[in-house]
Amino acid sequence: MITKQNNKEQQSKEPKYSIYLPKTKFGIFRRFLISFLLISIIPIFIFGLYSIYTLNQLDNDITKKVKKTIDNKTLQELELQAIYTANAVTKFLKQREYDIRALSNLTPTKLNYLRFSNEHLSEIWIRTGTNKHFGESHKLIPIYKEISFIDASGMEKVKIVRNKIVPGNRLKNVSIPKNTTYKSEKYFPKAKKLGKGKIYVSHVTGFYVTRKEQLGSAANIEDAVEGKKYDGIIRFVLPIYKGKIFTGEVMLGVDHQHLMEFTQHILPINKNQIVYPVYSSGNYAFMFDDDGWTITHPKYWDIRGVDKNGKQIPSYKETTSKKDLEIGRIPFNLDDADFIHPNYSFVADEVRNKQSGTVITRNIGGVNKIMAYAPIIYSTGPYKKYGVFGGITIGTQLEQFQSGTKPITAEMKKIIDLFKKNITWFILFTFLAAAITSFFVSRNFTKPIIQLTTASENLADGKLDERIFIDRNDEIGTLASSFNFMAYELQKSKSDLLESLKVLELSKLKIETYAKDLEYQLKIFKTIQKISSIIGRTFDFNNVLKIILKNSVESIGFDRAILYLIDKSGKYLEYQEMFGFTADEEKIAKRSKYDIQHFDCIETRTIKSGEIIFVEDFNNFSEATELDRKIRAISKSNSFVFVPLKAKEKIIGIMGADKLRSKEKITELDINSLQILANQASRVIENTQLYQELIKERNFVEDILRFMPSGVITIDNNFAITSLNRSASIIFNTSNNFAVGKPFWEVFNRLHPFINKFEKYFDNSKKEEPGFIIRQEIEDKTKYLEIAIANIKSEDETNLGYIIIISDKTERKQIEDQLQQIERLALLGRFAAGIAHEIRNPLTGVSLFLDDLHDKVASDKDIAGIIELALSEVERLEKLVNELLEYASPAKGNFSLNDLNEVVASTINLLRSQFKSLNIKIKKNFSSSIKPFVFDKEKLRQALLNIFINSIQAITKRGEVIISTEITEMESNINKYSSGLKLQRFVKISIKDTGPGFKLNEEKVVFEPFYTTKKGGTGLGLSISQTIISEHNGKIEAKNSIEGGALFIIYLPYTQEQIS
CATH of the domain at 1040: 3.30.565.10
Note whether residue 77 is domain-resident. Answer: no
How far, in Å, CA of 948 to CA of 961, rounded? 9
Expressed as residue numbers, the domain containing 1005 is 893-1053
Comparing CA positions, the residue from 997, 982, 975, 989 lying closest to residue 1042 is 997
How far, in Å, CA of 147 to CA of 160, rounded? 5
How far, in Å, CA of 521 to CA of 676, rounded? 11
Q: What is the CA radius of gyration of the chain?
A: 52
CATH of the domain at 624: 3.30.450.40
User: C-alpha distances in angstroms, 810 versus 414, 724, 813?
Assistant: 104, 20, 5
Comparing CA positions, the residue from 753, 741, 713, 715 lying closest to residue 729 is 713
Give residue 543's pLDDT.
Answer: 78
Comparing CA positions, the residue from 901, 923, 940, 915 lying closest to residue 1025 is 940
Angle at 723 between CA 721 and CA 724, to 5 degrees: 100
Residue 793 sits in the same domain as residue 819: no
Phi, psi of 627 (to 5 degrees): -65, -40
Note whether residue 75 is domain-resident. Answer: no
Residue 152 sits in the same domain as residue 185: yes
The DSSP secondary structure of 714-769, one letter per residue, reads: EEETT-BEEEE-HHHHHHHT--HHHHTTSBHHHHTTT-HHHHHHHHHHT-GGG---
Number of C-beta neighbours around residue 844 at 10 A: 13
- Domain count of the fold of the chain: 6
271: three-class secondary structure by DSSP: coil
309 Cβ contact list (under 8 Å, min separation 6): 183, 184
How far, in Å, CA of 156 to CA of 731, rounded? 25
CA atoms within 13 A on the CB side of 824: 8
User: C-alpha distances in angstroms, 78 versus 263, 374, 1027?
Assistant: 13, 10, 92
Note whether residue 477 is domain-resident. Answer: yes
How far, in Å, CA of 877 to CA of 427, rounded? 160
Comparing CA positions, the residue from 691, 628, 633 lying closest to residue 119 is 691
Phi-psi region of 1039 (alpha: psi -120 to 50; beta: other; left: phi over 0): beta
Residue 552 sits in the same domain as residue 695: yes
Taken in order 215, 221, 224, 227, the sign of the CA dihedral is positive
How far, in Å, CA of 143 to CA of 909, rounded? 75
Residue 565, strand partner residues: 574, 653
Give residue 22's pLDDT.
Answer: 44
Residue 362 sits in the same domain as residue 396: yes
How far, in Å, CA of 320 to CA of 334, rounded? 15
682 Cβ contact list (under 8 Å, min separation 6): 645, 646, 647, 652, 653
How far, in Å, CA of 626 to CA of 985, rounded? 76
Angle at 120 between CA 115 and CA 125, to 5 degrees: 135
Note whether residue 226 is domain-resident. Answer: yes
How far, in Å, CA of 260 to CA of 275, rounded? 11
Give residue 575's pLDDT.
Answer: 87
How far, in Å, CA of 1003 to CA of 1011, rounded? 11
Comparing CA positions, the residue from 880, 877, 812 lying closest to residue 844 is 877
Question: What would you measure as the largest C-alpha separation in the chain, in angstroms?
Answer: 216
How far, in Å, CA of 360 to CA of 23, rounded? 78
Comparing CA positions, the residue from 123, 179, 116, 126 lying closest to residue 150 is 179
Residue 142, strand partner residues: 121
How far, in Å, CA of 689 to CA of 666, rounded? 31
- Whether residue 942 contacts residue 1028, with contact meaning beta carbons closer than 8 Å, is answered with yes
Residue 690 sits in the same domain as residue 745: no
How far, in Å, CA of 123 to CA of 136, rounded? 13
How far, in Å, CA of 343 to CA of 363, rounded? 11
Residue 40, strand partner residues: none
Residue 332 sits in the same domain as residue 452: no
Note whether residue 351 is domain-resident. Answer: yes
Residue 798 sits in the same domain as residue 825: no
How far, in Å, CA of 506 to CA of 69, rounded? 13
- Whether residue 801 contacts residue 714, with contact meaning beta carbons closer than 8 Å, is answered with yes
Q: In what order do the strands lie in the sheet with 799-808?
A: 721-724, 711-716, 799-808, 781-793, 771-778
Residue 223 sits in the same domain as residue 292: yes
Residue 863 sits in the same domain as residue 956: no
Strand 650-658 vs strand 781-793: parallel, antiparallel, or unpaired? unpaired
Q: In the listed set 402, 431, 452, which residue is the last one of a domain according to the structure?
A: 402
Q: In the listed set 384, 402, 420, which residue is the last one of a domain according to the structure?
A: 402
Give residue 532's pLDDT.
Answer: 61
Note whether residue 521 is domain-resident. Answer: no
Q: In the listed set 346, 373, 402, which residue is the last one of a domain according to the structure?
A: 402
Residue 755 sits in the same domain as residue 667: no
Strand 1046-1053 vs strand 985-993: parallel, antiparallel, or unpaired? antiparallel
Residue 1034 sits in the same domain as residue 981: yes
Note whether residue 919 is domain-resident. Answer: yes
- CB burial of 339-369 (b: ≥16 within 10 Å; e: otherwise) equals ebbebbbbbbebbbeeebebbebbbeeebeb
10-residue stretch averages of pLDDT, the chain, 1060 residues long? 42 41 48 69 76 73 69 82 94 96 94 94 92 90 96 95 93 95 94 92 95 88 89 96 93 96 87 85 90 94 94 92 89 91 92 93 76 94 94 82 63 75 79 70 57 70 72 73 78 80 81 70 67 61 77 81 88 87 82 87 89 89 88 86 86 89 86 82 76 72 70 81 80 76 74 67 51 68 76 76 78 65 59 60 64 67 71 66 59 80 90 86 91 89 87 83 87 40 75 86 74 63 81 86 88 77
Whether the predicted model's global pTM rises above the 0.75 cut: no
Residue 721 sits in the same domain as residue 682: no
How far, in Å, CA of 250 to CA of 1022, rounded? 55
Strand 959-969 vs strand 920-925: parallel, antiparallel, or unpaired? parallel
Note whether residue 573 is domain-resident. Answer: yes
Residue 374, strand partner residues: 392
Number of C-beta neighbours around residue 29 at 10 A: 18
- Whether residue 947 contacts residue 986, with contact meaning beta carbons closer than 8 Å, is answered with no
Helix 475-533 and helix 446-460, axial crossing angle in degrees, nearest 10: 10
E strands of 21-64, at which residues?
A: none
Angle at 313 between CA 311 and CA 319, to 5 degrees: 135
513 Cβ contact list (under 8 Å, min separation 6): none
How many helices (H) and strands (E) the chain has is answered by 29, 32
